[in-house]
């Protein structure tokens, strides 16, 4: 059994597979385990109410959403059974519930026998779990957007499965992302969380040629705004705030306008892709025998909105291991 990708989904799948008596080989293209999870805020969450999940992600696959929504609490308890210590026992958002972990400690707890700098071979045979983290690198390059993810997830899992006739999910053009300070700001991986320009609800949004594209309403997560702004836009606000000052210190363009307001140059940063391989509730890729996709290599969970990528990775990683162990 081969698992490709030692991010959240791959690490979880390997740990559960070992627990169930399997001997998985876990390969990782990058120079370290942890994937985008290591860079994340590491809040693993679900909507408190099922109807809110459906309303927030209306184009998503209902069966997968149901699986994640119903299994997440047990999955978090499983993580704790391995020794994972939450740093928060709940989210700070009344609409959601979950746990927050320290990403480095979680990675260290889960990462065992990872073969680093070993990319997924194109001729890999089943049983195979694809957990390569979707295609944020490729999507960012194609659209001229910033990358706000690990630098290795360029769609290898998707390509391998597609070449063998796999079915794809909805949402292939969509991403979860954040407005980030536009170049020439220098953004290091460790600043991905701190430099997110998350005050869109207070901003007018202008294009480079001054057209006002402020949407009439905004989702609480502002992911819709990240889709809208693309590679270059301006947030115009009355007053500065901590995030603007952090952006300014990183070299972002922040202008004082004639009307006294501030204009901050922003660009969308791609955190993960929302579309991917179509899977069933046992994480099996539709149309292929013995090939699974976990994490954001699986697609169509949050189409039309935003949901926790880490919850998707945790639940589908467990589902893949359990299905393989069941034979
Ligand atoms: C700044 C930031 C903040 C975030 N905050 C949150 C949050 O609070 N809550 C939340 O739910 N989500 C959050 N996310 C998103 C979350 O981190 C991802 O959705 C999640 O990590 C996806 O898990 P995954 O296992 O599918 O992918 P990843 O964790 O990215 O792992 C994929 C792994 O596959 C490896 N890989 C790629 N290609 C190959 C290949 N060819 N062969 C072998 N290995 C390969 C990669 O190197 C990587 O290690 C955040 C992300 C970022 C960057």
**221 vs 229: CA distance, rounded Å:** 15
Instruction: Calculate the average pLDDT of the chain.
Output: 97
Local confidence band at 327 (pLDDT 50, 70, 90 cut-offs): confident
The string of pLDDT tens digits covering residues 13-64 is 999 999 999 999 999 999 999 999 999 999 999 999 999 999 999 999 999 9
Angstrom distances, CA of residue 297 to CA of 10, 134, 214, 293, 302: 11, 4, 32, 6, 13
**311 vs 68: CA distance, rounded Å:** 7
Task: State yes or no: pLDDT of 159 exceeds 90.
Answer: yes
**106 vs 8: CA distance, rounded Å:** 9
Ligand 1, residues at Cβ distance < 6 Å? 4-10, 27-30, 35-37, 39-44, 119-120, 131-133, 148-150, 152-153, 156, 192-193, 271-272, 295-296, 308-311, 313
Ligand 1, residue 196: give the atom nearest the CA. 1
The string of pLDDT tens digits covering residues 61-97 is 999 999 999 999 999 999 999 999 999 988 989 999 9
Please report the pLDDT score of residue 223 as a whole number. Answer: 94
**Beta strand 233-237 pairing with 204-206:** antiparallel
Tell me what the mean pLDDT of segment 242-266 comes to. 98
């Amino acid at each position: 059994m081969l698992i490709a990708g030692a991010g959240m989904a791959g690490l979880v799948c390997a740990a559960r597979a070992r627990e169930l008596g399997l001997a998985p080989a876990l390969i990782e293209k990058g120079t370290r385990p942890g994937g985008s999870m290591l860079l994340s805020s590491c809040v693993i969450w679900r909507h408190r109410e099922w109807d809110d999940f459906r309303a927030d992600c209306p184009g998503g696959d209902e069966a997968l959403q149901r699986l994640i929504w119903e299994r997440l609490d047990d999955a978090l308890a499983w993580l704790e059974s391995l020794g994972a210590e939450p740093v928060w026992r709940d989210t700070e958002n009344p609409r959601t519930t979950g746990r927050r972990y320290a990403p480095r400690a979680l990675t260290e707890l889960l990462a065992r026998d990872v073969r680093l700098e070993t990319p997924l071979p194109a001729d890999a045979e089943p049983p195979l779990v694809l957990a390569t983290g979707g295609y944020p690198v490729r999507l960012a390059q194609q659209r001229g957007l910033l990358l706000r993810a690990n630098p290795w997830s360029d769609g290898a899992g998707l390509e391998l499965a597609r070449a063998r006739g796999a079915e794809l999910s909805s949402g292939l053009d969509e991403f979860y992302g954040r407005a980030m300070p536009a170049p020439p700001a220098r953004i290091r991986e460790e600043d991905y969380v701190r430099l997110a320009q998350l005050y869109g609800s207070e901003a007018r949004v202008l294009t480079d040629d001054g057209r006002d594209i402020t949407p009439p309403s905004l989702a609480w997560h502002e992911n819709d705004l990240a889709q809208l702004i693309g590679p270059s836009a301006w947030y115009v606000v009355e007053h500065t705030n901590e995030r603007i000052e952090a952006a300014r210190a990183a070299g972002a363009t922040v202008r004082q306008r004639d009307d006294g307001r501030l204009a901050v140059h922003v660009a969308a940063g791609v955190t993960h892709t929302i579309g991917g391989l179509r899977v069933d509730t046992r994480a099996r890729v539709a149309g292929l025998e013995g090939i699974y996709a976990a994490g954001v290599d699986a697609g169509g969970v949050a189409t039309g909105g935003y949901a926790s990528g880490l919850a998707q990775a945790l639940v589908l990683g467990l589902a893949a291991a359990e299905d393989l162990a069941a034979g």
